[in-house]
Amino acid sequence: MNHPGELLSAFLDGEVTEEERSRVAHHLAGCEPCREELSDLNSSRTAVRSLLLLELPAGLVPPEDDGVEVPILARRPPVWIAAAAAAILALFVGIATILAPPTTLEVRLDQLSDQYGARTSLEPAITPRTPVPVIERGAGTIE
Amino acid sequence: MLENVPLTWEEVARVYGRKIYNFAYRLAGNPDDAADLTQEVLLRVKKGLAGYQPGSFEGWLWRITRNAFLDDIRRRKRRPTAPLPDEVDRLAGHSSPAPDEILASVRLGEDIQAALLELPFDFREAVVLCDVVGLTYEEISTAVAAPIGTVRSRIHRGRKMLKGLLR
């Protein structure tokens, strides 16, 4: 096999196909110069990754609303989620009403949702990977 | 990341502001230009967010960022300046490492920053997007509007040049 060359950096980053990974690994086992090149590339990569993550200067980003973080769940879930949740709860109530003896007709919805897991269906289906607080629109400006 | 999730520009600023600033700092090499660039990027995000089509948000955002940087370079027609030794004041986190560890880290950081500034822009940009911002090759490809093979080549050559500069 020819020397992998540019594939070596991609190999370090895991940006190769399985076939390429296998080919490069096999080549490295028998090629000292390529192992040295890989080591050099890795030291550069490590050096840049070791750079400190700098703090943002004050004032560049809109401030939080009075520093009070509103839980992400305060976001209004899409209408279909609320409708689905209501339907599931209604179903549970219906089943519980049918199955339960007459003396336990008084059903507490919060217990039902705990018991059957319906609570989870009330949470937004899609949440950002990084939680962001909900703020008033237009609360912050860039000077 | 955040595909199809509508964000306000304030949310973009909070979630990505620090990354944008760090990208800008590593490209420009000084805090003033980095702050100006971050501000410019956030303004462009504010203007452009309404027209954003769901897709690669990261690619869209970093394309705006690098275009703002290139526009700034064209406008001022000057080379990025050397880094200022003020990183001590901007250290991230508050884990209280020993002072000599901080100084050693800052000095090493200055060497690396100076070496980054010696790289051709395309190489520096690819390396910073990969190793500082943490984008995938595909996201970098979208951001810099170049094929993945080109991204792979730029990162590789940038790292090889860095190794020579850091010897």
Choice among A33-37, A79-83, A93-97, B155-159 with the minimum mean pLDDT: A79-83
- With 80 as the cut, is the pLDDT of residue A104 above it? no
Interface probe for A, chosen from B155, B157, B167 (most Cβ of A below 10 Å), is B155
In which domain, by residue range, is B54 found?
Answer: 9-80+98-165
What are the chain A neighbours of B131 within 8 Å (beta carbons)? 45, 48-49
B138 to chain A: nearest residue by CA? A15
Angle at B158 between CA B154 and CA B163, to 5 degrees: 155
Which pLDDT does position B123 carry in this prediction? 97
Asked if residue B87 is part of any domain, the answer here is no
What are the chain A neighbours of B7 within 8 Å (beta carbons)? 128, 132
When divided into structural domains, chain B yields a total of 1
Specify the amino acid at residue B27.
L
Domain ranges of chain A: 7-49, 72-122
Map residue A135 onto helix, strand or coil: coil
pLDDT mean by block of 10 residues, chain B; 167 residues: 64 91 93 92 89 80 90 73 47 54 67 95 96 94 94 97 93
Q: How confident is the model at residue A2 (pLDDT cuts 50, 70, 90)?
A: confident
User: Which residues have C-beta within 8 Å of that of residue B58, sequence separation ≥ 6?
Assistant: B1, B2, B135, B139, B142, B143
pTM over 0.80: no
What are the chain B neighbours of A8 within 8 Å (beta carbons)? 156
Higher pLDDT, A21 or B7: A21
Q: Do the Cβ atoms of B117 and B82 come closer than 8 Å?
A: yes
- With 80 as the cut, is the pLDDT of residue A125 above it? no
Asked if residue B59 is part of any domain, the answer here is yes
| Cβ–Cβ below 8 Å for B21 and A60 | yes
- With 90 as the cut, is the pLDDT of residue A49 above it? yes
| Cβ–Cβ below 8 Å for B156 and A6 | yes
Asked if residue B90 is part of any domain, the answer here is no
Asked if residue B1 is part of any domain, the answer here is no
The enclosing domain of B124 has a CATH number of 1.10.10.10
Alpha-carbon distance of A2 to A107, in angstroms, equals 73
